């Protein structure tokens, strides 16, 4: 708990909440504990806390942006890929509690697991009565991502941009095909190619299929002169 307090700079009162927030479902299953002792319920709450906090940050940071632009930036900032990256950088992932087998497989580094734990901790802080203290700390953690997304929005929203472009031409959407995947289960690399009207446009790689699709779409957009 002390390490968690150091990460967020906020004192913890109800340690049981944060114990649950860091506990993966595999651990409760392995130890025959009730499902409420893992992070899933707190993740559900934390997802709402995250969106509220990021909404306030964006509302104050970009006073001239309309709600559509704010929503688009928020949808990217609260994505698993960004949350996982942030969780790794602040050292949160190394404190996730897993079953022995899953821990050996390195599931604490899995994008979805890190993102879930991050959200669960936010839910725990909310129930611990620390929302007002949490928002400025979240701003410190997430502002580099907010600025990056704002400056390079096309890179993060390439799939939507490419689809809008192709549908304006022929009313058909681009097609993404998985061509290769490699690496261990907790650290897969995916390669995806994107086609339009049965013609190859480009390919992309990523740690998730979604990330690889975005990269492929981004390369296609640059090729087509859309971005």
What's phi and psi for 177, nearest 5 deg?
A: -125, 130
Q: Is 47 a catalytic residue?
A: yes
* Sequence-ordered list of residues with C-beta below 8 angstroms from that of 178, at least 6 positions apart, any chain: 190, 191, 192, 209, 212
Sequence-separated (6 or more) residues with CB below 8 Å from residue 96:
22, 23, 24, 108, 113, 114, 117
96, with CB counted inside 10 A (0-12, 13-18, 19+), is buried
What number of other Cβ atoms are within 10 A of residue 198's Cβ?
6
Report residue 139 as tokens. Answer: 């701003």
Catalytic residue among 80, 102, 119, 191: 119
Strand, helix or coil for residue 200 = strand
Question: How far is the CA of 74 from the CAs of 62, 67, 135, 140, 157, in angstroms?
Answer: 12, 10, 15, 16, 12
CA distance linking residue 196 with residue 224, whole number of Å? 11
Instruction: Pick the catalytic residue from 47, 102, 191, 211.
Output: 47
For the annotated catalytic residues, the residue numbers are: 47, 119
């Amino acid at each position: 708990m002390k390490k968690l307090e150091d990460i967020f700079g906020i004192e913890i009162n109800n340690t049981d909440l944060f114990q649950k927030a860091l506990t993966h479902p595999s651990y409760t299953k392995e130890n025959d504990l009730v499902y409420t002792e893992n992070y899933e319920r707190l993740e559900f709450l934390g997802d709402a806390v995250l969106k509220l906090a990021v909404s306030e940050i964006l509302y104050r940071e970009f006073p001239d942006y309309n709600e559509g632009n704010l929503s688009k930036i928020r949808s990217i900032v609260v994505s698993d890929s960004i949350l996982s990256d942030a969780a790794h950088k602040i050292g949160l992932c190394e404190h996730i509690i897993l079953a022995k087998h899953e821990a050996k497989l390195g599931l604490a580094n899995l994008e979805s697991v890190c993102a879930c734990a991050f959200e669960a901790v936010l839910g725990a802080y909310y129930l611990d009565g620390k929302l007002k203290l949490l928002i400025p700390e979240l701003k410190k953690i997430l502002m580099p991502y907010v600025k990056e997304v704002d400056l390079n929005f096309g890179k993060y929203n390439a799939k939507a941009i490419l689809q809008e472009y192709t549908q304006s031409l022929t009313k058909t959407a681009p097609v993404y095909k998985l061509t290769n995947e490699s690496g261990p289960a907790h650290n897969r690399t995916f390669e995806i190619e994107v086609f339009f009207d049965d013609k190859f446009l480009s390919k992309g790689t990523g740690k998730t299929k979604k990330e690889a699709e975005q990269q492929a779409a981004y390369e296609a957009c640059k090729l087509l002169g859309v971005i």
